[in-house]
Amino acid sequence: MTVGTDKRASRAAAMPLILAERGLRSGASWIGSADAALQDQFLNELDEGELLALPFLFEFWAMPHQLPPEGDWRSWVILGGRGAGKTRAGAEWVRSQVEGARPLDAGRCRRVALVGETIEQVREVMIFGDSGILACSPADRRPDWEAMRKRLVWPNGAVASVHTAHDPEGLRGPQFDAAWVDELAKWKKAEETWDQLQFALRLGDDPRVCVTTTPRNVGVLKKLLASPSTVQTHAPTEANAANLAGSFLEEVRARYRGTRLGRQELDGVLLADAEGALWTSEMLEAGRVCDLPVFDRIVVGVDPATTAGSASDECGIVVVGAQTNGPPQNWRAVVLADCTVQGATPSGWARAAISAMEQHGADRLVVETNQGGLMVGEVLRQIDPLVPLKSVHASRGKVARAEPVAALYEQGRVAHVAGMDALEDQMCRMTARGYEGSGSPDRVDAMVWALHELLIEPAAHWRAPGVRLL
């Protein structure tokens, strides 16, 4: 058991056996459901040392999804919504792998890999975070942080070293008994890092890995979950409601209830794309870019909201850059940013659009004027009288406008930077039948207008040049 000392925790450590006899895994749930007399009886039977050990006996406090499944497995994936207790489960699993472990063959101590997207995220979340390894460890078993060597060292000699998805090659050479991987589904180099980690998990009789992540529809996670050596547990955000601010739960549920983003980020559900979607998650992941080229043009697509207030539609504001040298089949574009705002007044969304243009060095705004007409341009010019502006009017439906843009993605001619989940969520709900979601796909509309301006309309003119006069 991962407790302060074996002697102090004798009775507290026996609780999992008592709970198992009752068909329960969480002692905290048992105490919470018991009457006051039973609670007092249990607590009064513990001596001072056992009471001190009890907060660090995770098997007693854990929720079912935070405890590793029984049986023979290589990878344990904890899928959960934001704040569902994934980090705490990962930190406690590391403790269970190293605390009290005796030296292995030839006096060797256990080695663990801590793998996150960046060094900062490993350090600030997995190690020093409120639910990280140091916060979960009792004083007599707390490891020391060696900053220069980027590792934790336990009193029994066990070592946990820091590795990142930004440097998959850093996993060549080291070898481990176990690994804790955090937020695998959002890593930019997930496939490469995961593959290198598998080669490094080669010490001991049964090397294992714990993966804590909010789900995203990415290949590396889907392959992992499909593996016969993988087990998983799952919980929504509400499972850990007792440790979360009530206002947080109220706000995110009000804003994201019924959306794909809400099901993913709060319910912890791995989403598939809408049937017949014009864009798929795999298509978008395949076109992800980290290093940006030099662009010939950058524009900001804007789909204005017609009303203001928290219940109004969003004002879609999407920034796109393009390289347009050579024939049209060589042209490429990158969606750079989603600066969409909701609930803003006309002057508010106008400022946001102009700010996006200035921040990214765009040469103009491309603004749909179906709803606002001339007023849209007037609002923008009240903020900046000299703003470069092109008004566009939709004569066809959203799907008809979106289909040629989706074709550009299929050809591999449009890529995305990371971090635009809300835009991509809308894209994966656009089908040939229409938009399969609540509200309007304002982000998609803004992106479509920008790509029409950069690639589709210029290509049409390029193919039909005017008469050259000598």
Q: What is the pLDDT along the chain (470 residues), one digit of tens a residue?
A: 444 444 444 444 555 555 555 555 566 666 666 566 666 776 677 777 766 766 777 777 778 888 899 899 999 999 998 888 999 999 999 999 998 666 665 567 899 999 999 999 999 999 999 999 999 998 888 999 999 999 999 998 999 999 999 999 999 999 999 999 999 998 989 999 999 999 999 998 899 999 999 988 788 998 999 999 999 999 888 888 877 888 888 888 877 765 667 778 888 888 777 778 899 888 888 888 888 999 999 999 999 876 665 556 789 999 999 999 989 889 999 999 999 998 888 899 999 999 999 999 999 999 988 765 567 888 899 999 999 999 988 778 889 999 999 999 999 999 999 878 889 889 988 988 888 877 789 999 999 999 999 999 998 877 655 555 55
Q: What contacts 353, CB < 8 A, 6 or more positions away?
A: 300, 302, 315, 317, 339, 365, 367, 380
| Nearest C-alpha neighbor of 429 from the set 421, 90, 65 | 421
Q: Measured between alpha carbons, how far is 147 from 139 in angstroms, rounded to an integer?
A: 19
Ordered structural domains, the chain, with CATH: 1-61 (no CATH), 63-254 (3.40.50.300), 281-463 (3.30.420.240)
Phi, psi (degrees; rounded to nearest 5) at 211:
-115, 120
Q: What contacts 122, CB < 8 A, 6 or more positions away?
A: 114, 115, 116, 162, 163, 164, 182
Determine the 3-state secondary structure of 99 from DSSP.
coil
Q: Where are the alpha helices (DSSP H) in 103-245?
A: 119-121, 133-136, 190-200, 219-226
Task: State the Cα angle at 67 between 181 and 170, rounded to 5°.
Answer: 15
